[in-house]
């Protein structure tokens, strides 16, 4: 039986978030507004999906201030990187099975 696709990542919006963050180097972060613009999502929608990913331990959310302005930075955790790699492998297995 092929491995199941991770339901936390499988939702289209969360898949886009994880794929975008996975493109960063390990330890690199992306500012919330940049990710929001990149994915063309509303702040509320992106926040909702980030919360689910953060609760699963896949995304690290760092809130700080730059001067007096709040800033939020996002990064994929090592657990998130592993989960995304597992998701990709499961998807490839599923696609290979569909060809047979």
pTM summary value: 0.91
Rounded CA separation 19/51 (Å): 16
| Residue among 19, 2, 3, 13 nearest 80 (CA) | 19
Rounded CA separation 17/9 (Å): 9
- Whether the CB-CB separation of 13 and 45 falls below 8 Å is answered with yes
Say which residue, 75 or 98, is predicted with more confidence: 75
* pLDDT of 2 higher than 90: no
Q: Which tens digit of pLDDT belongs to each residue from 7-57?
A: 999 999 999 999 999 999 988 999 999 999 999 999 999 999 999 999 999
């Amino acid at each position: 039986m092929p491995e199941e696709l991770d339901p936390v990542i499988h939702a289209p919006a969360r898949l886009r978030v994880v794929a975008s963050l996975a493109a960063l180097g390990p330890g690199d972060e992306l500012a919330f507004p940049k990710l929001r613009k990149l994915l063309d999502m509303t702040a509320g929608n992106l926040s909702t999906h980030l919360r689910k990913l953060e609760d699963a331990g896949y995304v690290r959310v760092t809130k700080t201030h730059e001067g007096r302005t709040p800033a939020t930075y996002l990064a994929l955790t090592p657990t998130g990187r592993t989960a995304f790699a597992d998701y990709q492998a499961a998807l490839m297995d599923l696609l290979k099975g569909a060809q047979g």
